[in-house]
């Protein structure tokens, strides 16, 4: 058998790295993991990445910057982008920067195999290898739901980009356990910044929570300009604009989030939380739970539009159970 091909899997999500490793388990590869772009570049420079599977939204150095560096240094690697950002412009950008192909998250092993066979990049093993079992893929609750959120973020961002007619910059989702005191402090800081927020409750499969969209006062005029609307400095106009953003982002995010878990959410009526000075209903009685925060950039100035999810404390059990089904 020929020597294994060195492959780098670059993704800030431990779960995503393990998913790709499992998809490559029947291929003759020697895998190196990278949590961000700088580590991936170093691996490629030292000959550990003839093939690079590259995420786009990562801390320290993102996938776009990695592709630019690979091109400028003429590094010997073939790049396959693997991302939840499904905006057409994202696909066009990475291909223009030299990527070989673009695989959308969530992906299947068959999709990865089809790309590898189409380009003749790797050789399949003649003998069956032991495939990673679910027990070997041990992830913490925030790690698991960061990757779920990453894919949902891409779907929601694509919907928002089409609505705005502009490219939406995707950050790395922040998924963590949060205490009531920490969340109240976050609300206080947001109130000090005079952010306005719309909140929508959701429930399904034993999971309940609130999804919130927050927009700072300086972003309303920018959003109106993108939409080619004449900005009105009035509460009614800004609330309507925020409601429109909320309907798009929250709906698309929750739909993708639930679909990946094979469940369904029922959503309540969106309501305005004045200056974020009050707790949403899902946060009234808990002490610690899971939160998701995504700070979208709406234009070249990256004006902020924050999407937040806060789950009820009773949701932790069902969320943990669903994460074991991977």
What is the SS3 assignment for 30?
strand
Predicted pLDDT at 191: 75
Length of the chain: 326
Q: Is the pTM of this model over 0.85?
A: no
**Tell me, what's the pLDDT at 291?**
94
Q: What confidence score (pLDDT) does residue 298 get?
A: 80
Distance in angstroms (rounded) separating the CA atoms of residues 149 and 154 = 9
- DSSP SS3 for 305: strand
Q: What is the pLDDT of residue 134?
A: 36
Q: Measuring CA to CA, which residue among 195, 152, 166 is closest to residue 306?
A: 195
Element (H, E) at 208: strand 207-215
Q: State the pLDDT at residue 117.
A: 92
Residue 5: its H or E element: strand 5-10
Q: Which pLDDT value is given to residue 274?
A: 61
DSSP state of 35: S
Cis peptide bond prior to 238, omega within 30° of 0:
no
Helix, coil or strand: residue 311: strand
Residue 278: predicted pLDDT: 54
> What does the pLDDT read at residue 297?
86
Q: What is the CA radius of gyration of the chain?
A: 21
How many secondary structure helices (H) and strands (E) does the chain include? 10, 12
Q: What is the pLDDT of residue 9?
A: 98
pLDDT tens per residue across span 173-202: 999 999 888 888 887 777 777 888 899 999
Q: Please answer whether residues 140 and 314 qualify as being in contact, where contact means their C-beta atoms are separated by less than 8 angstroms.
A: no
- The four Cα atoms 137, 138, 142, 145 give a dihedral, to 10 degrees, of 30
The DSSP call for residue 60 is S
What is the DSSP secondary-structure string of 257-297? HHHHHT---EE---EEEGGG-S--GGGSS-SEEEEEEEEEE
β-pairing, 304-311 vs 101-104, is unpaired
Four-point Cα dihedral 134, 80, 108, 87, nearest 10 = 120
* Low-confidence spans in the chain with pLDDT less than 50: 127-139, 275-277, 326
Chain Cα centroid distance, residue 200: 20
């Amino acid at each position: 058998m020929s020597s294994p091909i060195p492959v780098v899997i670059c993704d800030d999500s431990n779960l995503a790295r393990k998913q790709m490793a499992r998809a490559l388990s029947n291929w003759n590869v020697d895998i190196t993991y990278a949590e961000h772009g700088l580590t991936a570049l170093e691996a490629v420079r030292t000959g550990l990445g003839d093939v690079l599977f590259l995420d786009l939204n990562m801390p320290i150095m993102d996938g776009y910057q990695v592709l630019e560096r690979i091109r400028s240094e003429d590094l010997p690697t073939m790049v396959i982008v693997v991302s939840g950002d499904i905006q057409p412009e994202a696909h066009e950008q990475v291909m223009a920067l030299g990527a070989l192909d673009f695989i959308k998250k969530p992906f299947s092993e068959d999709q990865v195999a089809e790309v590898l066979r189409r380009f003749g990049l790797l050789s399949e093993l003649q003998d069956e290898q032991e495939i990673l079992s679910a027990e070997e893929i041990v992830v913490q609750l925030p790690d698991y739901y960061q990757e779920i959120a990453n894919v949902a973020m891409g779907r929601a961002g694509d919907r928002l980009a089409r609505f705005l007619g502009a490219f939406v910059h995707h950050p790395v989702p922040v998924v963590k356990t949060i205490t009531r005191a920490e969340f109240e402090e976050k609300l206080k800081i947001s109130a000090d910044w005079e952010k306005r927020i719309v909140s929508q409750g959701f429930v399904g499969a034993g999971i309940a929570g609130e999804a919130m969209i927050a927009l700072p006062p300086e972003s309303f005029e920018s959003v109106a300009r993108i939409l080619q609307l004449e900005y009105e400095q009035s509460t009614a106009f800004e609330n309507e604009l925020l409601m429109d953003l909320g309907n798009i982002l929250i709906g698309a995010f929750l739909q993708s989030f639930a679909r990946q878990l094979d469940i369904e959410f029922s959503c309540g009526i969106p309501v305005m939380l004045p200056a974020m000075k009050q707790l949403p209903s899902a946060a009234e009685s808990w002490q610690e739970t899971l939160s998701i925060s995504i700070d979208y950039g709406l234009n070249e100035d990256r004006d902020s539009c924050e999407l937040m999810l806060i789950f009820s404390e009773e949701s932790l059990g069902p969320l943990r159970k669903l994460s074991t089904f991977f």
